Structure 1
Amino acid sequence: MTSFGKTDTGLKRSSNQDSIYLSDSPVGPLPNLYIVADGMGGHAAGDFASQYAIRLVVDFIKKSTVKNPISLLKRAFIYASNEVYKEAEKDKVKNGMGTTMVAAVVIGSELYVGNIGDSRLYVIDDDIKQITMDHSLVEELIRNGQLDRNKGRNHPEKNIITRAMGSRDEAMPDFFQITLKKNSRILLCSDGLSNMVEDDEIRDIVSEDGDLERVVDYLISRANYYGGNDNISVVVVSV
């Protein structure tokens, strides 16, 4: 199993509030770990929130003896969310900060995923399948039948999320377990990619044989080609 990841400021933002983490080797009891986080809360706070949350999750997992990946991810997510909230309460500059997070672990042919917010995980094999579900106002409107999915990409409130790490309430992440096909690729990304590049184009790029670094660079370049409205973070894992 191999992976590559990169984060890019994009063309419209002055700072990068996204953070990524990837390890093809064991992290605590897990055989590997991949994370994308998209921070919020102002120039300094959003950048800090995403980095801090990833560090908290990784450190929690490294010290844990819990072997069930879903149970471990859940405990790590809730712990990190509480710690981000505590940190925000101590510092006026960081007040209200938070972050999305999507994390993945591959054990054999099984993929385990945790997410909170609107950063996404896709599996690409013969097609592209979005595994995570956005915790966003637009996604709620779509699920309630109040908005057509095709119009959601351009909705003026598409960036409003309904769950995040660091919120006052206890974190409510979602978790998924999927059996992977042979030669699948996994994509974790922030909304700076998924809001700019259509799923079909993402599938075509990720499906190409060859160097993962080239795949990641091309995805980022396409997001910037379409406007680069936000920070762009991409992690691709080849199983």
Structure 2
Amino acid sequence: MTDRTPMAERQLMAWFLRRSPASGARRVLPFSAAIGSETGLVRKQNEDRAAIARGRDADGRVFVVAAVADGIGGMQDGHVCASTGLASLFTSLLYQAQRGVPAELWLEIALYAANESVFRDYRSNGGTTLSVLLLLEGGGGYWASVGDSRIYAMDDVLVQLSKDDTIAGQLGKARAGSEQSKLLQYIGIGGSLEVSIHAVEEAQQGMALLTTDGVHFLESANGLLELVVRHAGDFGSCVRRLIELSRWCGGPDNASAVAIPFSSEGLVDDAPLSSSCLDVWDAFGEIRILDLVEVPSARREPFHSEDRSSNPLGAPEGPPPESAESEASNASTSGVVKAKKKSRAKAKAKTKTEGKVPQVQIQFSDKEG
């Protein structure tokens, strides 16, 4: 991350890195979606990030984006890479929507922006998977996946839409050895990234399910994944059961899932009124960002945010476990809050000379997770 990183991206990254419980699942009531994430029994920390965001484009049309990111084990700072990738993705999508860019280009631009953000900080020594689904008011949308996190469609049967970026995945193998399971590409790899964008079919109905490999390893257990999804009853129960089942099966990896309907119905209810606003939910809380707005002089208005974290559905009571990483993340967020006046003054001074540097005011609540 550099001084030129958009402040909205910095803010979202800090929020994704805040201290949180080891496990959480919650419903996103405005459109019947659900998000869950679980550290598991083997990993020391959760390097997954899963979230849903909603905003409006320049024409007032509502869009919703769901995404999961899995920081790559064995490389540097997987949790930071996942947070960076997701924050960059959402920020770029908002900017494209604000500027009137055709919706079919949003995901491609945003995924390359996420790749650049992670690569800039880690030079291919850190990375993350990223699977994302974009839904548009009035129907339709687009999806894409980089790495081996997955996107499924559940209607009559559970179908994997995405193809893993592994040798096994490209060959259509359900099971493979360690060599064939290595990632061929990921967010943060640099200039060799190739992104493929797919349109949501007009007739697509039912549930979209986005998972990290801590969840979809259940697919190898004689159809267990489909069985759980089919009989869950609702999206909230589906997500909660998937991450709990992952833990019951040994919790070998971080497990995260997002369940959301393909239908655009319900997307508009309680949606932001302005294209400058973005609502973001994860398994542990929610935040609203009032982002940058173009003005004729090329200067931008300040943006504000409010952290509306709440006790997530199924989250354990009591304080979350402490760790050096979580303390550092929390301290970083606290530092941003304390320095908001100074940052705003510096941004204002730069705006006078450069014309494109945002003024920022950030406000987090005291409640964590």
| Both proteins in one fold, TM over 0.5 | yes
Q: Distance in 2 between matches of 1:35 and 1:150?
A: 23
Corresponding position of 1:78:
112
Corresponding position of 2:165:
135
- When structure 1 is superposed on structure 2, of 212-221 and 116-125 the one drifting more is 212-221
Higher relative contact order (CA 8 A, sep 6+): 1
Contact 2:147–2:184 (8 Å) recurs in 1? yes
> With structure 1 as the length reference, what TM-score do the two structures score?
0.84
1:112-157 deviation line (CA, Å, top 9, x unaligned): 10111001000000111111110013224x35xxxxx3543xx233
What code does the residue aligned with 1:189 have?
A: T
Task: Quote how far apart the aligned CAs of 1:183 are.
Answer: 5.0
Of the three residues 186, 204, 226, the one matched with 2:227 is 204
Corresponding position of 1:92:
none
Q: Distance in 2 between matches of 1:20 and 1:66?
A: 27
1:8-36 deviation line (CA, Å, top 9, x unaligned): 1111111111101113x325566101010
Of the three residues 226, 231, 247, the one matched with 1:224 is 247
Corresponding position of 1:47:
79
The count of residues paired between Structure 1 and Structure 2 equals 225
Of the three residues 147, 157, 163, the one matched with 2:179 is 157
Contact 1:66–1:72 (8 Å) recurs in 2? no
What code does the residue aligned with 1:68 have?
A: P
Runs of 4+ in structure 1 off by over 6 angstroms are none
Corresponding position of 1:88:
122
Contact 1:186–1:236 (8 Å) recurs in 2? yes
Of the three residues 89, 94, 100, the one matched with 2:129 is 100
Change (3 A) 1:10 1:62: same
Q: Which runs of 5+ in 2 are unaligned?
A: 1-30, 264-369
Q: CA RMSD in A?
A: 2.3
Q: Distance in 1 between matches of 2:219 and 2:71?
A: 20
Q: Which runs of 5+ in 1 are unaligned?
A: 90-94, 144-148
Q: Distance in 1 between matches of 2:204 and 2:95?
A: 32
1:177 aligns with 2:199: yes
Task: Quote how far apart the aligned CAs of 1:195 are.
Answer: 1.8
Secondary structure of 1:32's counterpart equals: strand
